[in-house]
Structure 1
Amino acid sequence: MTNITRRQALLGAGALLGAPNVVTAQSLHRVRFTLDWVFHGSYSFAAAGERNGIFRNNGVEFSITRGYGSGRVPIDVAAGTYDIGIGDMTPAIRFMAENPQRDVVAVAIVYDQSPACCTVRADGPITEPKMLEGRTLAAPEFDGGRQIFPVFARAVGIDANTVRWNSISPELREPMLVQRRADGITGFITSTGLSLKALGMDWPQQRIFRYKNYGMDFYGSGLITTRTFLRERPEAARAAIRAILQSTIWAYRNPTEAIAFLKQRETLTDVAIETERQQVTFDEMMISDTVKRHGLSHFEPARAQKQIEAIVQTFSLPRTPSVDQVFDGSFLPPASELQVAPAA
């Protein structure tokens, strides 16, 4: 276990940010920020930014709340419960299409690749996605993998209406598969894979159908807010986006220290499991070829358009939002600040 002193934290943050700003408590932008799931290794950046000075040096004081699935993030942000949240782009886009009056918009891409998947037992009878027809899957109602499943079903040519769903609380999802009470589960590989491993079902015992391997080249997790927040508090929005993205890069460059900060915040953290979960997040979600070439939050309209069209067609939505209605990149920091290569 790595112990992080305040001096080390500030030095590490200063190396990323340059000379730190002098910020007083009175000048901080107070921003309510929601995750889309529990506080684990995928969100070590949030614990790090909270404790190593990056958030404060950007003039932001976050109140960070755990989430209950990506499907909840746009709902809660639109309701004004939170100012900004991180969640999968597919349910967010669906929400935007169905609720144009709610003013929701994405302002950054944190994780370039979608982690959504369906997992079954490797020793079970299901060996390909088409065999999910007529089976029972377990997941919370707002689970990101479940929200996106109809798009996956359409991509692999199965009738999503034949799949039975067991709606359960988040902590019961993985036990349902381990105990053979469901044929499969949906979720994010960063959650399901490591949670199953913690219950004794290691990676070789899991058969994972990653949605992105079946023609779904979708953006993963983005920062979701409202145009009202952007209009009424533009400096707070700009500072919050910059702080979150810089903290994400810092965690990638300093993974051991990031998990140490997570352990400080969440004392029950299993360091071994969360270290692996963090690395899976980097490998499966964050470090794509696009990010290697262009840096974090590089947005390609044509790629987003395909994601929008797939969502609209799958759910038979009454309107197709434009790319500009879905994403506003004008609050992002310069691309030079978003390069992810580890410091020399």
Structure 2
Amino acid sequence: MKSVLTAAVLASLMLLAGCGRSDEAPQSAEAPAAAAPQKVRFLMNSGYSGANVWFLVAQQRGYFRDEGLEVEFTPGRGAFTAAGRMIDEGFDAGYGDIQATYEQAAKRPGQAPIGVYMVMDASPSVIILPAASPIRTARQLSGKTVTGHGTDVALNTFEQFASKTGLDPASVTITPNDGNWKTLIGLLDEGRSDALFGYLSTSSAAIRTAGGKVEDRLRFLKFRDAVPELYGSALMVSPQLLRERPEVARGLVRAINRAVTDTLCKPEAAIDILTAHDPEQKADVELDRLMDTIDDMGGRGQIARNGVGDIDPARMQSGLQLTVTTRHLPRRPEVAEVFNRDLLPARAQRLPCANPPA
């Protein structure tokens, strides 16, 4: 009798609870909907190459997704154009030369993008000479013709270079030419220009792509040897993104830092991702381009000691002053207007192989 009563009581309880009804499925709480990813419009310095392969690494390995981001990349038209285009075309983030950001901040205060992660610790710019050129020093460029794209970083930071080397920039004939690198190097070969403006990595890649040896064709006067105050390209964000969506900016920096340290840890694996994305890219050429870029990031020794991403504020202040003076800018921005260190991951996370890929 006791067991029958117990069974009846249990049946009643189940009925009251809604259990045991054959005409209705059991009720369950709905799982909360996943938050929609935050969209970020990102302007690159160029298309994908060995010189910026970490962006593709971050995309392909899901590092943006891990941060709840959906990043839309737009190929750029040169590192010096990125800062101005970010303002004019409303990009949330970008990658380009930090000196261009100085100029935008001087001319359009409050609107200029802000650097948040310095990739290139040194200027990648060079004066490109034929290997057989008699020119050995910057002063010997006086009276010569130097050719380059009108938006080239080296052309647009030439005044800084000249001021530190004792060269009068007015004594040099600068000829803008928007031809491709085959055309520009042809000008050297034909003696129609004494030198070119450019990046060591880009001009060297052009020679290697054509099957030549760089040392047989070109020599370089490196800006980083003459103007240590100058930095190179940085990850930048708009003031609006930093003000209105700071966690998005922080997540973007974390994701890109993961990809940069991956790339520094295993360069060949990063190039494999690039060539899988674009089979027309030559793996050996792009690996060499990446290694040249790593030199512009400070070189493996410095990166192993200090990591990547940070700046020396005093050095940046000197570079700002030099740029304002030589480029005759209307005002001198403060370092805080052009670079924000607050979003940087801890130094230990910015060292090569700090975040080794699986």
Task: Output the TM-score relative to the length of structure 1.
Answer: 0.86
**Range moving further from structure 2, 198-207 or 109-118:** 198-207
Residue 276 of structure 2 is aligned with which of 264, 278, 282?
264
CA separation of 1:289/1:202 partners in 2, compared to 1, >3 Å: closer, same or farther? closer
Question: Higher mean Cα deviation, 38-47 or 193-202?
Answer: 193-202
User: Does 1:147 pair with 2:156?
Assistant: yes
CA distance in structure 2 between the aligned counterparts of 1:289 and 1:272, rounded to whole angstroms: 23
Structure 1 equivalent of residue 66 of structure 2: 57
The residue number in structure 2 matching 1:7 is none
Q: Alignment RMSD, CA only? A: 2.2
Query: 1:222-267 CA distances to partner (integer Å, 9 max, x unpaired)?
Result: 1122211211222221111211121111111121111111112223
* Alignment partners' CA distance in 2, 1:26 and 1:165: 53
Report 1:10-159 matches (<5 A): 27-159=36-168
Distance 1:176 1:33 in 2: 34
User: Which residue of structure 2 lines up, in the alignment, with residue 294 of structure 1?
Assistant: 306
Contact kept? 2:122, 2:228, Cα under 8 Å: no
Q: 1:215 to 1:72 in 2, by over 3 A?
A: closer
The 1:152–1:237 alpha-carbon spacing in structure 2 relative to 1, beyond 3 Å, is same
Instruction: Decide which of 329, 333, 338 is 2:345's aligned counterpart.
Output: 333
Contact 1:78–1:225 (CA<8 Å) still a contact in 2? no
Partner SS for 2:297: helix
Given residue 79 of structure 2, which amino acid in structure 1 is its aligned partner?
Answer: S
Partners of 2:34 and 2:204 lie apart in 1 by: 40
After superposition, the C-alpha distances for 1:41-79 in whole angstroms (9 at most, x for unaligned) are 011111211112222222222222222222211111112
> Which residue, out of 293, 296, 301, partners 1:281?
293
- Is the 1:155–1:216 Cα contact (8 Å) retained in structure 2? no
Q: Which residue of 2 aligns with 1:218?
A: 230
Q: Distance in 2 between matches of 1:293 and 1:197?
A: 31
SS of 1:243's partner is helix
After TM superposition, the structure 1 = structure 2 runs for residues 164-243 of structure 1, keeping only pairs within 5 Å, are 164-169=173-178, 171=180, 172-199=183-210, 200=212, 202-243=214-255
How far apart, CA to CA, are the structure 2 residues paired with 1:79 and 1:246? 29
Residue 165 (structure 1) shift: 2.4
Tell me the distance in 2 between the aligned counterparts of 1:67 and 1:136: 28
Q: Deviations over 1:23-54 (max 9, x none)?
A: x9863222121221332101111121111222
Match in the other structure for 1:11:
none
Amino acid in structure 2 at the alignment position of 1:228: Q
Report how far residue 181 of structure 1 moved.
Answer: 3.0
Secondary structure of the 2:201 match is: helix
CA shift for structure 1 position 331: 2.0
TM-score normalised to structure 2 length: 0.83
Q: Is the 8 A contact 1:88 1:144 kept in 2?
A: yes
Gaps in structure 2 of 5+ consecutive residues: 1-32
Q: Which amino acid aligns with 2:263?
A: A
Q: Distance in 2 between matches of 1:28 and 1:179?
A: 53
Q: By how many angstroms is 1:99 displaced?
A: 2.0
Number of corresponding residues = 321
Same amino acid, percent of matched pairs? 26
SS at match of 2:187: helix
User: SS where residue 120 of structure 1 aligns?
Assistant: strand
| Structure 1 CA distance for aligned equivalents of residues 323 and 336 of structure 2 | 16
Closer, same or farther: CA 245–181 of 1 in aligned 2, 3 Å: farther
What amino acid sits opposite 1:223 in the alignment? L
Structure 1 residues 174, 238: closer, same or farther in 2, change over 3 A? Answer: farther
Counterpart-to-counterpart distance in 1, 2:143 and 2:47: 31
Residue 256 of structure 2 is aligned to residue 244 of structure 1: yes
* Map of 1:14 onto structure 2: none
Are 1:140 and 1:173, in contact at CA under 8 Å, matched by a contact in 2? no
2:8 maps to what in 1? none
Structure 2 Cα separation of the partners of residues 270 and 114 of structure 1 = 25
Give 1 or 2 for the bigger CA radius of gyration.
Answer: 2
Conservation of the 8 A alpha-carbon contact between 1:110 and 1:245: no
* Residues 1:241 and 1:174: Cα distance change in structure 2 (over 3 Å): farther
Q: Is the 8 A contact 2:94 2:235 kept in 1?
A: yes
Partner residue of 1:15?
none
